[in-house]
Structure 1
Amino acid sequence: MCAGQNGKGILTESPSPPVDVLIDDIWLLQTHSTPPSVDHQQDSSTAIRYSVDSIGMVEQTFRPHPSLNPDAWLRELKYTNLSSETQDLTQAVFRLGRAASPQLHTWFPTHAVLFETDSDFSVGTAFKTQSDFYTFIPGDTLIEVQVDACWRLQPGQSATIGQQGIWLFKGRKNDFHNQLQAWYRSIGCSISTDNPAWLKEAILYETCAGGHVEALFSDVGGFDPLSKQLEYLADLGITLFWFNAVHEHKTPPNAGSGGWNHYGVLDHTRIDSILGGEERFRHLIEKTRQLGLHPLGEIVLWGGASKQGKQLEEWHIRDRNDQLLNPWGGGCVLDYSSPSWQKVIHDSVRLVAECGIQGLRIDVMDGHGPNWSSPRTNHASYSTLGGSLEMLENIRESSRTSSSEPILIPESLYDRPEYLYHGITLGYGMQTTFFFVNSIHPGEEPESLCSDLYRFFENEQGSLPDGSLVLRTLNNHDTVVAEGRTIQRFGTGLSRALYGVCLCVPGIPMLYQEDEVGSFEFLKQVHSARRQILPFSHGDVDYKGLRYSPKVFSVVRQYNGKTAVGLANVSGDAISSEAILTTAGEGLKYAQAVDRVSGATASIRNGTFHWTLLPYQVALIEIVKDAPTSGEHNTAAPPFIPPSSQEDISLQADSGGIRIQAGNLAAALSAGPGNWSYEEQSAGKGILSSTQGRIELVQKDGAVRVDALFFDPSGRKTFDIKIPATNRWALSGQTAWLADHTLQRHHPFPKETNYYWDRSMFTGKAPWGGLYNRVLPDDRLWQSVLEPLHSGQPGFVFTGMDSSLAITDVTSTAENIILKVADNPLQPERPDLIISFLGQDLDLSPRVRAFGLGDQWTMDRYPQPEARPLRVELVVSPAGSDVIHNLKRHCAAG
């Protein structure tokens, strides 16, 4: 190793060959031992050559890299074919031996490795390339960089394979972040364009005009129905939209047997007519911008299903055996380095850009592997990173028709530094999403969960060029298919706490389509709070800046002299403890902590304050150095569910059913088919009965008590309560208070499209036996199997027509209780809500019905739940302030 005087005793010769290449599936130097020759050159570089007779020569050259520091080098690798045959080079490896005690600190942030040594010096190593993907593999005594470089070399031809940066610096782990930033600057990998303030403060929403992914992108009905949701989403706090791809992809008759997937574009020159065509897409984008929101589109690059891609046969990617790659089922995939394909994508992007979008998410930015049949080059793997970088700039240029500096989001397994330093480019944040999907498990102890969160985010901190922004999300269309939604795995309370983590850490929080269902009130509050406190969107982060509770994830954010504290309680326990600002507390002799979510405040004395968090609560706290004047920082927002101003209630019952009226709002109780008769036993008391069961009604003290019992021997009885024409609803869940607007999100496509969807058409874990039994009942807003009603105060509240109605003290033997939305023909803008008590829910998967949501057992045949009578007890009353308060209070207490 050419390490200079400072490198003695720090870097060692690796036990394996220091570099190697895989030639025709054989590691050359590992299988052919050969002594190297060393050539010290006049420019202070050193070339070390390994020649293997009649096969090839491997040459590594160390060049000084003074733009980083005097003890820095770029290690280049070159291979030359010395044989008389064609050779395939399929990988190269750089090895770096290190002499350091294993207990010393090593930082491995995916794209580099920095480690302490037993001396005063530490070592950094990273990689510079514009053509090939690479992977760092650190070990105790050896660090490898595997470079996926692929070349087809004729006799005498050479391949040059990237540059490994190696540098020494005097310092320890506290210097690692600055050292990696210095490396980025030294190779020109610095963020060139400042992100606008609104982007740093954005909340992103991924949505598809066709529908969400579980429903095969086919249950929303097109651009016009989606546009009706925009004001609701804007009120929620969404400021940035990622509209899934809109190029032609759907074909009749339906999502089950026709084309449905916008990631399988059929024609890059047309916007899908089944969604509404170009005119209605323009209308959607125009409405988005009129609301002050920012629209992004999406471009799909693989191309194998499109007529344009099929015509470019010479650019279809082939493997070493000349076989077409077909990972997506379209017959082929395109080489991103193809000038012809880049032109197709240029025009495809321009089509949507001219509709007014401000940028795009780019699907599968990393490409599809090496193209061994490239007409352009014998560098087969140039179709990977090299082609991706060319395509990225091609898309940026073609997007400028609608935005002088478009926002691009390249999808990648890793947030590659090579993608991020030109223009405004956001990291896709796949590693964050994978962490939430793969590293957090139901039932994990909150202390362990917090430790995992800190470990992940601290390791990531400073790993990308300064100024980089990445997305932070629990769900996207891919993870929903693979693992189901977070709420299905963790319940509402923990899902909200984890989203709170996304709000606290640096980056852009993102929701996936319909993640907001049942959480409107919560999300609006936290989004508003984050928008008010600039350190959360603009500031530096300190993950060790607060000592509070091991069950609470905490950060301290600082910006422009202002300090904020983010707290996310990932436990089902209330936490009440002293909070100590370890660094930012210096100088805070007198201050106040103000939670912009709940309005709670606490006095800070000498950097310490006492704080209480409810189960799964998220707090976004602004540190106010001067005590606020009365009411200035704690103005209560109007209640999302207003209490009823009318206390009257009326009961009507006959053989046709039961109607309970509270003010202008009614609950219609349906016993189902059968010969039912009603007998009034006394004033305010009666029984509706048949051979199938009975429903006892008692009207007393401004409420109606309902006690229903059904004898269906199959156990499949359903008891429904319809609440027509509501505009808001809420319920007390076991881990969270759910509250939302009444919104019909799902609509049929226009008849003239000859395209339809039904609940038998689906994809993903939930309908494939994860939650459901191969159906997708997409009308469900809530169900007790996912979020049980609160055991202490189970109830619902509904508002509409200036009235509020409560259904409380709910107990039932139902296998599942669901709240679903239904069309209201008389008032389409105000859908009906229906509570269904299901004696047996046959839509649930047999495993869930037998064992619940856990994955404890997998069986060929699951035991059938025992049939039993359906019992439902509840109280219907006007929703006065005391009723709502009791429901929320019990819910908050856990």
Structure 2
Amino acid sequence: MTSIMTPHPDWYRDAVLYSLDVKTFADGNGDGIGDFVGLRDRLDYLDDLGVTCLWLLPFYPSPWRDNGYDVADYYGIDERLGTMGDFHRFLDDAHDRGMRVLVDMVFNHTSTEHQWFQRARDGDEKYREYYLWTDDPADAPEEDTIFPGEEESVWTYDEAADAYYYHQFYHFQPDLNVSNPDVQAEIERVLQFWTEQGVDGFRVDAATPMIGAKGAAPVSIDEPHVLFKQMKRAVSEVDDETVLLAEADDEPAELRRYFGEGDEFDLLLSFVSNAHLLWALADENADHLAEAFDRLPAYEDIVECGQWANFLRNFDELNLGPLPYEQFQRAIEVIGADHDTRIYGRGVRRRLASILGGDTDRLACATSLCFALPGTPIVVAGDEIGMGDELSLPGRDAVRTPMQWTDDPTAGFSTADPDSFVRPLVDGEYGPEAVNVAAQRADPDSLLARVRAIVETRKACPELSRGQQSVVDTDEQTVFVHRSEWDGTTLLTAHNVGPDPVSVSLDAPDDVATHLLGPGDYSLDSDTLSVELGGYDYCWLRLGQPRTRTA
């Protein structure tokens, strides 16, 4: 058994995360920009939805040239979003409802407006070493930017410094030299500051680029993952219940390393599962999802130290890059059939509802399937009601529009004139007149109602985070069946990603079955379980009785 050296939290295993951007969620002061006052006013909605942990996109002072990921001050609240007092009142109210709070943290780079960079370009030698510089980019190896088509080079000349600085992302986001012990100490101080403020964990942005090649050579850390161990140790010294979630978009064979021995990340966003899942849904072929299990490290190899964080969409592009090349070529043609929806050569700037044609049954099936994967599920704000995208907006802003609360012209997001909103509302068939929270809360058959039921069921199924996991083979290409065995029970989930009714017969390990979720039906005869699924149906069953637990 693996020895876990660092105190290891457990609450995240059965958590349901809800990802939101404060600036586009709810406006509390009527200026057209979401804020912590507005978010606090909507906590009852999130509580009713049943989510147990909120993941907040960056809210720090920033020029907002990259949606807040261009951080100008790690220790503050952007004044457009409120004050530190507003943040604490929100945090206290969330905790009072039993909800944890994760916050985004960006250590791969800063904004050019950060005081560290300003002091570096003005000649302060200490801060000069916080970044990576060259006098001549021609002497550095050629390297692609993370945003092809938007940035031509990873080097940008700074006139004040009379040198070129390195940036994997946008030119206004210089990379930090994380091999510098002073930078590592700054990272630890930032993490400990926010842990002391009461946050429950951090989603670490761009974890893979942090420890990869930077500039002329790889970062000179003897063992790159030591940096992540230092980060985990720093937060655990303040509160050993603090969780680290990594945006680790690495080769599948490398992903196990990010968990360490329980002393690095607790959760990893599973980009491999995400790409395969969306391709399975769009192509109506469950075999694509089964292939993800063959490519990822076996669940039993990671479960002691952490688990996957599963998602359908996020506030960036849908990255199909993790698919094998031939499948990627097919998927980008199907999901990104309109070339205006493609971005960076690897992704699609569309919301889930737009990809699946706004079909409530397909969206509910997709959500159920994501929640039925081993790991911690994530809901992106707006997906629970089937919000669409606004392709008239540039780049990834198409999927970052304000939350649609009501059918009025402001979508209930703000009392301001919509022309002053931080970002325009969706127009057309997915606009607030057709898709909003108020209408769906009043409809027991709405997508929102079905997502609420899925959330509650997942929280009652510890098999999906603790058990032995396996994909069950069937003869039906549109059906995905997954089995989780733990503590004397077997959780069996079946999903039909196609439009036609199907029936599958499975071996049953027990003669007791309990229907937990979904419109699908079943029958149990001797040692055979038959599951009947209509088009886009799903069915969650628990087989057997749980063992009696002792205190």
What's the TM-score once normalised by structure 2's chain length? 0.67
Q: How does 1:608-647 map to 2 (within 5 A)?
A: 608-624=528-544
Check conservation: 1:530, 1:620, Cα contact below 8 A: no
Structure 2 residue identity aligned to 1:533:
C
Write the distance in 2 (CA, Å) between the matches of 1:372 and 1:522: 48
Query: Residue 285 of structure 1: which of 71, 77, 91 is its match?
Result: 91
Once the 2 structures are TM-superposed, how far is the Cα of residue 531 of structure 1 from its aligned partner? 2.2
Which letter maps to 1:417?
R
Q: For the Cα contact (< 8 Å) 2:520–2:539, is it kept in 1?
A: no
Q: Which has the higher contact order (CA 8 A, sep 6+)?
A: 2
Q: Deviations over 1:530-561 (max 9, x none)?
A: 222332332111212x6474321111111011
Name 1:508's counterpart in structure 2: 376
Kept after mapping to 2: 8 A contact 1:578/1:610:
yes
Looking at structure 2, the residues matched to 412 and 219 of structure 1 have their Cα atoms a distance apart, in angstroms, of 34
Q: Deviations over 1:608-651 (max 9, x none)?
A: 1333223212221112459xxxxxxxxxxxxxxxxxxxxxxxxx
More strand by share: 1
- Could you report, residue by residue, the CA deviation over 1:580-629 in whole angstroms, capped at 9, with x for unpaired residues? 22xxx24x3x323x221248764422221333223212221112459xxx
Question: In structure 2, what is the equivalent of residue 605 of structure 1?
Answer: 525
Report if the CA contact (8 A) 2:280-2:497 is conserved: no
**2:309 corresponding residue in structure 1:** 471
CA distance in 2, matches of 1:395, 1:434: 28
Match for residue 392 of structure 1?
228
Amino acid at match of 2:491: A
Per-residue deviation at 1:565?
A: 0.7
Structure 2 residue runs of 5 or longer lacking an equivalent are 26-30, 120-126, 141-162, 319-342, 387-446, 547-551
Rate the CA distance shift 1:390–1:525 in 2: closer, same or farther, 3 A: same
Task: Give the conservation status (yes or no) of the 8 Å contact 1:272–1:278.
Answer: no
Shift of the 427–221 alpha-carbon distance from structure 1 to 2, 3 Å rule, reads same
Cα deviation for residue 238 of structure 1 reads 0.8
Seen in structure 2, the aligned counterparts of structure 1 residues 384 and 236 have a Cα distance that, compared at 3 Å, is farther
Judge conservation of contact 1:269–1:347 (CA < 8 Å) in 2: no
Change (3 A) 1:370 1:454: closer
- In 2: Cα distance, 1:271 partner to 1:385 partner: 35
Partner of 2:258: 419
Deviations 1:359-406 (A, max 9, x none): 101111123653467xxxxxx31357945x344234334434652242
- 1:245 and 1:297 in contact (8 A); partners too: yes
Deviations 1:398-456 (A, max 9, x none): 4346522420012121263332124352112122223345x4574x2x3xx11111122
User: Which residue among 488, 501, 514 is the counterpart of 1:574?
Assistant: 501
Q: Per the alignment, in what secondary structure is the counterpart of residue 497 of structure 1?
A: helix
Contact 1:317 1:370 in 2 (8 A): no
Quickly say closer, same or farther: Cα 1:533–1:269, change in 2 above 3 A. Answer: closer
Match of 2:213 in 1: 370
Residues 331 and 595 (structure 1 numbering): CA distance in 2 closer, same or farther, change over 3 Å?
A: closer
Residues 1:501 and 1:390: Cα distance change in structure 2 (over 3 Å) = same
Give the aligned partner of residue 488 of structure 2. Answer: 561
> Does the 8 Å contact 1:335/1:383 carry over to 2?
no
More helix by share: 2
2:275 is paired with a residue whose SS is helix
Q: Kindly indicate whether residue 24 of structure 2 is the aligned counterpart of residue 211 of structure 1.
A: yes
Q: Residue 482 of structure 2 aligns to which amino acid in structure 1? A: V
Contact 2:280 2:286 (C-alpha < 8 Å) held by counterparts = no
* Distance (Å, rounded) in 2 between the aligned partners of 1:408 and 1:496: 29
| 1:706-717 map, 5 Å | none
1:273: how far off? 1.8
**Structure 1 residues 535, 433: CA separation in 2 closer, same or farther (over 3 Å shift)?**
same
Q: Is the counterpart of residue 520 in structure 1 residue 448 in structure 2?
A: yes
Q: Is structure 2 residue 487 aligned with structure 1 residue 487?
A: no
Partner of 1:235: 48
Please point out which of 218, 224, 227 is paired with 1:381: 218
- Give the paired residue count: 408
Decide which of 300, 310, 313 is 2:128's aligned counterpart.
313
Cα distance change on mapping 1:221 and 1:304 into 2, 3 Å: closer
Q: CA deviation at 1:194?
A: 8.0
- Write the distance in 2 (CA, Å) between the matches of 1:273 and 1:602: 55
Per the TM alignment, residue 335 of structure 1 is displaced from its structure 2 partner at its CA by: 0.9
CA contact (8 A) 2:522 2:532 kept: no
Q: Distance in 2 between matches of 1:323 and 1:292?
A: 48
Q: Does 1:591 align with 2:512?
A: yes
Contact in 2 for aligned 1:548/1:579 (Cα 8 Å) = no
Shift of 1:472: 0.7
**How far apart, in 1, do the equivalents of 2:277 and 2:129 lie?**
41
**Cα–Cα, structure 1 residues 557 and 436, in superposed 2: closer, same or farther, change >3 Å?**
closer
Q: What's the counterpart of residue 245 of structure 2?
A: 409
4+ long deviations beyond 4 Å = 189-197, 383-387, 598-603
Residue identity matched to 2:132: I
Which residue of structure 1 aligns with residue 74 of structure 2? Answer: 268
- Going from structure 1 to structure 2, the CA distance change for 1:192 and 1:351 (only over 3 Å counts) comes to closer
| Letter aligned with residue 580 of structure 1 | L
AA of the residue aligned to 1:314 = E
- Distance of 1:603 and 1:224 partners within structure 2: 50
- The reply to whether residue 345 of structure 1 matches residue 187 of structure 2 is yes
Q: Which structure has the larger Rg over C-alpha atoms? A: 1
| CA–CA distance in structure 1, aligned partners of residues 198 and 316 of structure 2 | 27
Deviation at 1:564, TM superposition (A): 1.3
Q: Which runs of 5 or more structure 1 residues have no equivalent in the other structure? A: 1-184, 213-217, 251-257, 374-379, 627-894
Q: Distance in 2 between matches of 1:621 and 1:290?
A: 33
Contact conserved, 2:518 with 2:537, CA < 8 A, in 1? no
Distance in 2 between residues matched to 1:324 and 1:568, nearest whole Å: 50
Name 1:360's counterpart in structure 2: 202
Q: What's the C-alpha RMSD, in Å, of the aligned pairs?
A: 3.0
Contact 1:538/1:559 (<8 A) preserved:
yes
Change (3 A) 1:315 1:350: same
Per-residue CA deviations over 1:254-287 (Å, capped at 9, x if unaligned) read xxxx757210111223222211121111111111
Match of 1:535 among 463, 472, 476: 463
- Structure 1 residues 361 and 503: CA distance shift in structure 2, 3 A: same
Kindly indicate whether the alpha-carbon contact (under 8 Å) linking 1:268 and 1:308 is maintained by their aligned counterparts in 2: no
Q: Which amino acid aligns with 1:276?
A: G
Given residue 370 of structure 1, which amino acid in structure 2 is its aligned partner?
A
Contact 1:244 1:297 in 2 (8 A): yes
Q: 1:428 matched to which residue of 2?
A: 269
Residue 460 of structure 1, CA deviation = 2.0
Q: Letter of the aligned partner of 2:249 in structure 1?
A: L
